[in-house]
Structure 1
């Protein structure tokens, strides 16, 4: 009896990171379930939602992790970053402190995850437009350029740019995986050449080749 075919070609684990009350939950629910609530209870645990999308002819399941934004839980959240494929880094465009904290979240990702898909999102742009204030724009652009992260302004309330944010994240994840695959391929080719030229190192090089193959197959 043959196994059932998977319903998707790729499955990506994505975390939404940022301070409490920046709108991580509202962005997640807007994207995953097309819902928005004017008030939310603070996230007290990790909540996971899914959305299946078609992107460039591929079926992709996005596994979305909503996280606690309170500072005292930062170490707990950082420990869950293992094996993620991408992050949505969220700040509130009306709260400059949330942008300052975002630099710390980015540092956690860089330390624990290495090269993964990333986007920065200035949420609640509807409030910025109604007030006429633009208190975080310059600093946000500087941080995004420094870290090489695409930056978007969005509104979970009005659904402005939400789809675009996650499309860009999926592309960023695919680009990272393609780059990793090319690097692994070059390492594999180098190991084969070394094995051919130096038979005495056959055991060590063979183990290296097997390690590379495992990474490629994960």
Structure 2
């Protein structure tokens, strides 16, 4: 964690989306505060937490927005996609319906946010393997088709939650920093570019850049 008053080099907004009760708030609590609550209540509207990490010797403040999954809040929360440079698209591996709704959430995300933001598909509750209703293969195939990162997590057991956020934040960081040293005057899409504050990401993002991670954990 960054010390009080320490200079922040970057602030990245990341949104959590997906059906209600898939564990979005628990994933956020685990990442932001290393907490897990068995009696977590449904999120009303939108909440957000921040956490500062060090990525490649730079201080990065992650501003994570947790959007309510209930249908009645979706018209309200759509405005909160704006400005997001990353997203975690969460489903529950024990609830097939939550995975079946992922294409709709992805469509909504891409219609309200920059279509090229860094997106990770997250299958939460991997600790409930005996209740699995969505195979890893199905989710991985969908992620590859849509050019998404993919991980299965367990907020309860703190499994892969850190990796999921670190991967998204590191990918955003790398794209922004490539922009400072690479130019693409022909505009042929071979180099990452920034148009205003929008991040344009070339090509598929299917592999987790583990060797590029260099971050502190809280």
The TM-score bracket by the shorter chain reads: 0.7 to 0.9
CA distance in 2, matches of 1:132, 1:22: 14
Task: Say whether the 8 Å CA contact 1:115–1:176 is kept in structure 2.
Answer: no
Q: Please report how far the alpha carbon of residue 136 of structure 1 lies from its aligned counterpart in structure 2 after TM superposition.
A: 3.4
* 8 A contact 1:124–1:154 mirrored in 2: yes
Q: Is contact 1:12–1:84 with CA below 8 Å preserved after alignment?
A: yes
Counterpart position of 2:207? none
Question: Which residue does 1:174 correspond to in 2?
Answer: 173
* Change beyond 3 A, Cα 1:40–1:56: same
How far does residue 62 in structure 1 lie from its aligned partner after superposition? Answer: 0.3
State the match for 1:193 in structure 2.
Answer: none
The residue matched to 1:80 in structure 2 has which SS? helix
SS in 1 for 2:101: helix
Greater relative CO (CA pairs within 8 A, separation 6+): 2
2: CA distance between counterparts of 1:100 and 1:177? 33
- The 8 Å contact of residues 20 and 70 in structure 1, kept in 2 or not, is answered as yes
More strand by share: 2
Match of 2:29 in 1: 29
Against the structure 1 CA distance between its residues 147 and 217, is the aligned structure 2 distance closer, same or farther, given a 3 Å change threshold?
closer
Tell me, in whole angstroms, the C-alpha distance in 2 between the residues paired with 1:53 and 1:14.
Answer: 14
How far the C-alpha of 1:110 sits from its partner, in A, is 1.8
TM-score calculated relative to the size of structure 2: 0.77
Give the deviation of 1:99 after TM superposition: 0.8
Map 1:23-172 → 2, pairs under 5 A: 23-112=23-112, 113-128=114-129, 131=130, 133=132, 135-172=134-171
In the other structure, the counterpart of 2:184 is: 186
What is aligned with 1:198? none
Residues 116, 176 of structure 1: 8 Å contact kept? no
Separation in 1, partners of 2:197, 2:73: 34
Task: Provide the alpha-carbon RMSD of the alignment.
Answer: 2.7
Q: Distance in 1 between matches of 2:50 and 2:128?
A: 28
Q: Note the residue ranges of structure 1 that are not aligned, 5 or more in a row.
A: 191-211
Superposition misfits of 4+ residues, deviation over 4 angstroms: 178-183
Distance 1:134 1:217, change over 3 A: closer
Extract unaligned runs of 5+ from structure 2: 188-192, 200-218
